[in-house]
Structure formats: C-alpha cells, structure tokens
Structure 1
Amino acid sequence: MTTSPSISAVSALMLLALATVWGGSFFFAEIALTEVPPLTITLHRVVWAVPILLVVVRLLDLRLPRAPRVWGAYLVMGALNNAIPFSLIFWAQVELQSGLASILNGTTAVFGAVVAGLLLRDEPLVPLKIVGALLGLAGVAAIMGPDLLRGVDLRNLAQMAVLGAALSYALASVWAKRALAGQAPQMNALGMLMGSSLLMLPLALWVDGVPRFDLSAHVWAALVSVAALSTALAYLLYFAILRRAGAANLMLVTLMIPPFAAGLGAVFLGERLGAEAWTGFGLIALGLLVTDGRVLRRG
C-alpha cells in the first residue's frame, strides 16, 4: 500500500499560506460586492491573474501548447474550475456571510472523492468515501436547517449555489486528470485562466454591463488581491504543495480555509457565525477525515 508523503515544515507553512489566500478570497469578495456585481468580480479575478502567471510561465521557459485539443481542454477546465464556481460563490455571498460560504465550500473535497469514485477507475468508490459523503451531507443539513423543508428562499438558493460550486470544482479535478495530465501544472493554471477569461468577458458584459473603473480604493485593493493573491499565487502554492506533499496532504487545506475566512470576516466585517454553522463545519471536516482514511487506519 502506498503512503502519502510526509508534511515537512516548509510544506506546512505553504499549506498555511494557501489556506490564508484562499480563505481571503471570501473576504475580498465581501468588500468588492459593495460596488461590483458578482460576475464582474469573477471577470476581474481571472483576467488580472493571467499576466501574472504568464510572467511565471515565461520565467520557467515553458512553451504555450499548440494543439487545439489542449486549448479546448483548457476552456472546459476554465469553466469548471473558475468561471462557474467563482460566479456561483460570489453570487451566493450577496446573501451569505463569507465564513458560511467558505464552510459550505468545504464540501469540495468530499464531493471530489465521490465524483472521482464514480468516474475514475483508479479511484474506486470505497465504503469510507460513502460514509464521508454522508457525513458531509449531514453537515450541510445542519447548516441549512429545517427551514429548507418549509420552502426555498433566496438564502437557501445561495447555500445551494455554493454547493453547486463545490460540485463544479470536483468535476474539474476529474477533468484535469483525464485531459491535462501531460501538461506542466503552471501551464495548466495559465491555460484555464485564459479559458475562463474568454468565457467571462462576454457573459459579464451581457449580464452586468461595461465594468466601472471609478471604484473606491479599498474595492480596487480587494479586486487586485483576489486576482494576485487568491488566484495567481494560490495556484502556484497549490502545485508546489502537490509536488512536495502529495494530493492527500493537500486536501487538508479544505479544513483550514473556513477558520481563516470566518476570522477575517469577524475581525474586519463584524460577521458572526451561529452554532449551526460550526456544527456543520465539524461534520464536513469529519467527513473529509473519514474520506481520507489515514486517521482511521492509524487508529
């Protein structure tokens, strides 16, 4: 049986940094939403990250692929991993606190294990993954509460939008493994962001109109931060941790993002999460640990 690489001190610090910048994306979005509509925030996030990653790809002396098949795969990846989930989460944050959105987004890893088990032969849907998924669903139920049974309101729809984003992320991971395994990871990050920029430009213009540029300084700072830190830097950290510590250890970042997002929201935005949100987070976290399986094997 293969074992996951151990987490060194450097990898642990990189995981902490990744959780910070990804948790920060929910915080930056809350600030940007005061003046910018959701789809336009997504457009800013992907467009401004492209030149940063283009510089990185140039410094690494990586060549842009020429095969149309690869660029088609980048377009699909950009939709599944950027355009769809970013837009759903930012739209949901109009109704939800940043910390709560990050907790619901924590179902990504559990969804990922189930989707991979259904669609990939080398990652079967073993009983632990099923139990983990059920725990994750219990966490979602704890957060959404019995009000959902009485009728669907805008807040419920926002919560389901975040779950839709998590499912989109899960499908993206399977697509990447099937269609982009032979490409350099930094090139994959650049290619999918170029693809998502191409998708978001007409969509944002159609729905939101021409973007405003007379924004407050703090809103511009949030937009630049979500692009440079929560997107460009985050993907570079993601692939560096993947190489150093492996995919299983990388999943741990899912448990670390909500405390950072909730902490930033509490300190700077005055947000407070109720007991049901933290109960849900605990069940989702337990579901991830069961899905991962290492804690149970060691026990």
Structure 2
Amino acid sequence: MNAVELVVLAAIWGASFLFMRMGSSEFGPVPLIALRVGIAALVLLPVIFSATSRLHVRSHWKPLLVVGLTNSALPFCLFAYSTLYVNAGLDSILNATTPLWGALIAFVWLKVSLTRDQILGMVLGLAGVLVLVWDQLGAGQGTQTLAILAVLLATLSYGFAGHYSRRHLVGLPAPLTAWASQFFSVLVLLPGALYWWPQHAVSDSAWWAVIGLGVVCTGLAYVLYFRLIAHTGASYAMSVTFLIPVFGVAWGALFLHEQVGVQTTAGCLVILLGTALATGKLQLLQRLRAA
C-alpha cells in the first residue's frame, strides 16, 4: 500500500508541471501561484483549528515565513515562469536536481563531509543538466536559457528550505508547517498578484488548472506526503523525487504532445543516477572497491 501511495504522489506532483504550463500563460506566474498557495491553505485550514496550533504559528512565524518564501512562493513562481518557455517534461526532470543542491548546501553551510560517491553524483547531475539543455544553450535562445536558470534557482531554494526547516522548525507538526508555509506565501505574493492580475478573460481550462494545482498538487499532495513520512519515514517518502520525472514527461507527452527524444531520456537518466549517488541511495564507488 505504501508503494501505491508513493506512485500516486509522484503522479500528482508530476502533473503540477502540466497544470502550471496550462495556467501560467493566461494568469501570469505570480497570480497563478498566489491562487495555488491560497487554495492549498484553504484545503489545509483544519490543521490550524486548535489553540495549540495557533500558538505554534505565533511563536514561530519568522522561520515559517522564511520557509513559506523559499519552499513555496519563490520556487513555485520560478517554475511557473519557466513553463512559459520550456516544456513540462523538462521542468519535471530538472526538478530532480533538488537533492543535489541539498547535498551541496549541507557541505557548504552545515560543513557535512561528502563521500566520493556524493561528489561523483554532483558531477553526474551537472552533466545530466548540460545534456538536457545543450541544444537551447547552443542555439542562443535567451528566454529558454533564463527559464532553465529559473528552474535551477527554484531547486536551489528547495534545497535551502529543507535544511532551514530542520534547523528552525524542529518539533512542529508537519501538517502545520505545510499550512503555514502556504499561508505566508499568500501574504508575500498577494501584492504582486493584484498588480499583475490578468486584464483579459481567463479560460475555463486555465481555471481548472489552478484548481488542480491548489487542491490536488499542493493541498492533497501535502497530506499524502506527510502520511507517507508518518508511516514509512522521511527517507522513503523523499524517494518520490526519482519518480516525478517519469510522470512529468508522460503527462506532457500525453496531454500537451511534447516530444520525448533520446537526449531527454539520456539527460533524465544521468540526473537520476547523480541524485541517487548524491543522496546516498546508491554507493557505486564503494561497491566497486569492495568487488
């Protein structure tokens, strides 16, 4: 049953790139994400009903604000911007670099030593990104290059948020952290959302996309993610990272008719291999030396 839930979660988060690509061109990145986190905050609202939860929010509002900015508001907007110029499948694959940034931040900020396998994993991860984006960089397409850099900045932000949460939000219930991060994201994004609110009529498909993002890909997904953490542990739950690109590419090809070529497949495999090494899921050099 846990494996089924993991696959369902990967399918949901893989679909988020599809929904962002469907909605960002009509809403614009900031209004789209403001709606996404606002809807998610409403979905998760029951977690704040108790007096204890409200006390936690009041006493930890500063770190919760930082997490809301770095784990939701900023990366979500960067991903939404990127979907204006690159396809959903590519975005979902580049999202898998998050653990690579996490390992690098742990080394630079927290002084956590890296094994040779982890260093090899980072090098492979970078190589995989270059394989994926080489055509765009070589063609000199400035907007696509900026979009790819935006995705990498988003995953860097995710990596920072993960370590920051573990240092400053220890002991807080995970669902409460999820709600608070969405709530503070709304506060941060609201002025920009009002300023950039679309002046034209928005199609029904774009509205359905934002509802899917908020209700399913954020609210429901967080509930499922924290359920997995409770039942199987954080390490097992975080392995969803390896499955998201499969669904992101599949949904993009199925619903948006995005092309999946040899270069995309190769880049995806190299990034996933690098991520597995950098996060300790695979010990390649140790096994070779043992053999």
Q: TM-score normalised to the size of structure 2? A: 0.91
**Contact 1:135/1:284 (CA < 8 Å) preserved in 2?**
yes
Query: 1:37 pairs with 28, 33, 40, which one?
Result: 28
Displacement of 1:181 in angstroms is 1.0
Displacement of 1:214 in angstroms is 4.5
Q: How do residues 110-121 of structure 1 correspond to structure 2 at under 5 angstroms? A: 110-120=100-110
CA–CA distance in structure 2, aligned partners of residues 213 and 65 of structure 1 = 42
Report the 3-state secondary structure (helix = DSSP H, G, I; strand = E; otherwise coil) of the residue aligned with 1:64: helix
Displacement of 1:52 in angstroms is 1.1
Structure 2, gaps ≥5 residues long: none
User: Aligned residue for 1:84?
Assistant: 74
CA–CA distance in structure 1, aligned partners of residues 97 and 233 of structure 2 = 20
User: Aligned residue for 1:239?
Assistant: 226
User: Aligned residue for 2:11?
Assistant: 20
The answer as to 2:89 corresponding to 1:128 is no
**Contact 2:117/2:283 (CA < 8 Å) preserved in 1?**
no
The answer as to 2:185 corresponding to 1:196 is yes
**Contact 1:132/1:291 (CA < 8 Å) preserved in 2?**
yes
**Contact 1:15/1:241 (CA < 8 Å) preserved in 2?**
yes
- 1:237–1:118 CA distance, 2 compared to 1 (3 A): farther
Report the 3-state secondary structure (helix = DSSP H, G, I; strand = E; otherwise coil) of the residue aligned with 1:129: helix
The answer as to 2:163 corresponding to 1:163 is no
Displacement of 1:116 in angstroms is 2.1
Displacement of 1:69 in angstroms is 5.0
Displacement of 1:50 in angstroms is 0.7
CA–CA distance in structure 2, aligned partners of residues 247 and 124 of structure 1 = 21
- Give the paired residue count: 286
CA–CA distance in structure 2, aligned partners of residues 195 and 131 of structure 1 = 37
Displacement of 1:200 in angstroms is 0.5
Q: CA RMSD in A?
A: 2.2
Structure 1, gaps ≥5 residues long: 1-9
Q: How do residues 175-190 of structure 1 correspond to structure 2 at under 5 angstroms? A: 175-190=164-179
Displacement of 1:30 in angstroms is 1.6
CA–CA distance in structure 2, aligned partners of residues 263 and 65 of structure 1 = 43
For 2:246, the aligned partner's letter is P
**Contact 1:104/1:163 (CA < 8 Å) preserved in 2?**
yes
**Contact 1:20/1:260 (CA < 8 Å) preserved in 2?**
yes
Identity of aligned residues (%): 35
**Contact 1:64/1:187 (CA < 8 Å) preserved in 2?**
no
CA–CA distance in structure 1, aligned partners of residues 210 and 152 of structure 2 = 24
User: Aligned residue for 1:96?
Assistant: 86
User: Aligned residue for 1:11?
Assistant: 2
**Contact 2:47/2:179 (CA < 8 Å) preserved in 1?**
no
User: Aligned residue for 1:224?
Assistant: 211
**Contact 2:56/2:172 (CA < 8 Å) preserved in 1?**
no
